[in-house]
Structure 1
Amino acid sequence: MKLIECPRDAMQGLPDFIPTATKTAYLNTLLQVGFDTLDFGSFVSPKAIPQLRDTAEVLAGLDLSATRTKLLAIVANLRGAETALQHPEISYLGFPLSVSETFQRRNTNQSPAEALADVAAMHERCEQHGKTLVTYLSMGFGNPYGDAWNPEIVTDFTARLAALGVRIVALSDTIGASTATTIEPLFSALIPAFPAIEFGAHLHTTPTTWREKVAAAYAAGCRRFDGAIGGIGGCPMATDELTGNMATENLLAFLAEKGVDSGLNATAFGQARAAAGQVFGFH
């Protein structure tokens, strides 16, 4: 079981800038919990995501001396990837490849074909630098634009990524459109079809629909889940109304019901949740 905590996704759409020192202190708290990976920031245009314009400064303040957690940074183009590659502390680069052409253009100002070409180049550069590319198939369960979506389209995108040698693919429910009836069949088809790929679930959800989504992905064999403490966040490039991330607390509750050891330090998680409440203003 791999749990990926996503403070980057939690922060990116917030209108009020969180001071760099506050971000750094919060991330250092998260690094003590024992998550597999911390999606900590992004190297994208500050005009597009002003909240994360200080990612390099935040990175410089992180204490990585006593953590097993690996760092992931989101990039939107080759220029951002080259910047991220200059930081040896970063293990993973994440790129949002959309199965919706409308969203790809809104998010990275590219066609899907151009984005796939970038994925190929990024994967090659990551291999050269000893890093791993994580490709997010955004709008992986549908989109609000009327663009075509079906499981065959997702499978075709995955096949193209497999041909490039991409090893981690996260199916991303960017707007909370997924249901158990779309999640389970998709994972059930993809996981055995592409054994060289580690599949993850990046599910946005409402407080009342989270359980069915997690249960569907888990039943289909997914063992990599993204979450954000408090269920904060959403993609400001997708729709005007943000649908929050999967709450990490809910993921942990589900695993506990299944008798699965999350591998996290419960005391450190409690401290991190208290810190999140102060950063994001919830109890």
Structure 2
Amino acid sequence: MAEHVTIHEVGPRDGLQNEPGVISVADKVALIDLLGTSGLTDIEVGSFVSPKWVPQMANTPDVLTKMTRVAGCTYGVLVPNMRGWDSFAPFAGGPFEVAVFISASEGFSQSNLNCSVAESIVRLTPVVSAAEAAGVPVRGYVSCITDCPFDGPTQPESVAKAVADLRSVAPMQVSLGDTLGRGEPARVATMLDAVLDIAPADQLAGHFHDTGGQALENVSVALEKGLRHFDSAVGGLGGCPYAPGAPGNVATEAVLAHVTALGYTTGVDGDVITQAAALARSMKG
């Protein structure tokens, strides 16, 4: 029997947040609703962050209110601090998952969060506690798993420590982000070996950007190491606004074709994903 790979669609959040202008609520909802018909079970739909710093996500509450909630699908929202939690709290009874994030590098943490990695753990701990108290699942993100735009190459031990620190707060799944898209398969393998010493493969996900054209090779490496969860964005949109020169999440349609060709099942309709990719590419703020 073929093994299953779960695709975590991040287009409506990580994909659209890097657009120069704000995407309308109607357009975001149309994309999310189309994705919801594809068989995806995990879709990241927004974030509760300061509109001053990420204006593209300011309409997240309206998106959550108006989108169609498909049975069996979990919808992820990024909640970096308790101010964000207070804004998210009215939705805590729905099919939502809270995502928290840290960096494996100090330079990126200071640029993105204006604090050290250790301080970022302190900030997110009450968010995790509030989510657990409300019965909301939590997922973690670690950025800069191979390279930092400020510090250069990231040591595998730093990534392992970041994962361990997150999972010491709660036993969450952790998505490992190649934020710059510079990760080479050999370096990704070395990093994964270090992380797998402190977390099981089924509690890890690969989040690869295709800036360097090696995202699918890195997916293959992660599959060989036992990972079965991968983040991707329809149309290959997105990136991090705080990581200069790092556009382009790996495209969902490419990951879907890749893992299917390798013999894995996903439960995702490729025709719908193709339609969603075209819709995502047409969205400009």
TM-score by length of 1: 0.91
| Residues 230-265 of structure 1: CA deviation (Å, up to 9, x unaligned) | 1111101121x2320011111111112111111112
3-state DSSP of counterpart to 1:127 = helix
Q: Give the Cα separation in 2 of the matches to 1:182 and 1:56.
A: 39
1:91 maps to 2:96: yes
State the identity as a percent.
31
Displacement after TM superposition at 1:278 (Å): 2.9
Displacement after TM superposition at 1:138 (Å): 0.8
Partner of 2:21: 16
Residues 164 and 198 in structure 2, CA contact (< 8 A), matched pair in contact too? no
3-state DSSP of counterpart to 2:258 = helix
Q: 135, 155, 161: which is aligned to 1:156?
A: 161
1:253 maps to 2:257: yes
Displacement after TM superposition at 1:206 (Å): 2.8
1:37 maps to 2:42: yes
Displacement after TM superposition at 1:147 (Å): 5.8
5+ long unaligned stretches in structure 2: none
| Residues 32-77 of structure 1: CA deviation (Å, up to 9, x unaligned) | 112121111110011101111100011111111x442210001222
Q: 104, 112, 115: which is aligned to 1:110?
A: 115
Aligned pairs (5 A) from 1:153-232: 153-191=158-196, 193-195=198-200, 198-206=203-211, 208-232=213-237
| Residues 123-175 of structure 1: CA deviation (Å, up to 9, x unaligned) | 21111011122111111212121267311111122222232223211111111
For residue 164 of structure 1, what is the amino acid of its counterpart? V
1:262 maps to 2:266: yes
Partner of 1:76: 80
The CA RMSD measured in Å over matched residues stands at 2.0
For residue 264 of structure 2, what is the amino acid of its counterpart? V
Q: Give the Cα separation in 2 of the matches to 1:129 and 1:279.
A: 34
3-state DSSP of counterpart to 2:141 = strand
Q: Give the Cα separation in 2 of the matches to 1:248 and 1:148.
A: 27
Displacement after TM superposition at 1:182 (Å): 1.6
Displacement after TM superposition at 1:191 (Å): 3.0
| Residues 162-193 of structure 1: CA deviation (Å, up to 9, x unaligned) | 32223211111111121101212222342353
Q: Give the Cα separation in 1 of the matches to 2:82 and 2:26.
A: 28
Displacement after TM superposition at 1:119 (Å): 2.7
5+ long unaligned stretches in structure 1: none
3-state DSSP of counterpart to 1:12 = helix
| Residues 182-241 of structure 1: CA deviation (Å, up to 9, x unaligned) | 2122223423532397101111113732221111111111111000111111101121x2
Which deviates further from its counterpart, 88-97 or 193-202? Answer: 193-202
Q: Give the Cα separation in 1 of the matches to 2:84 and 2:157.
A: 31
Residues 187 and 222 in structure 1, CA contact (< 8 A), matched pair in contact too? no
Which of structures 1 and 2 has the larger relative contact order (alpha carbons within 8 angstroms, sep 6+)? 2
Structure 1 pair 188–261 and aligned structure 2 pair: CA distance change class (3 A)? same
Aligned residues: 279
Structure 1 pair 116–196 and aligned structure 2 pair: CA distance change class (3 A)? farther
Displacement after TM superposition at 1:93 (Å): 1.1
Q: 271, 274, 278: which is aligned to 2:278?
A: 274
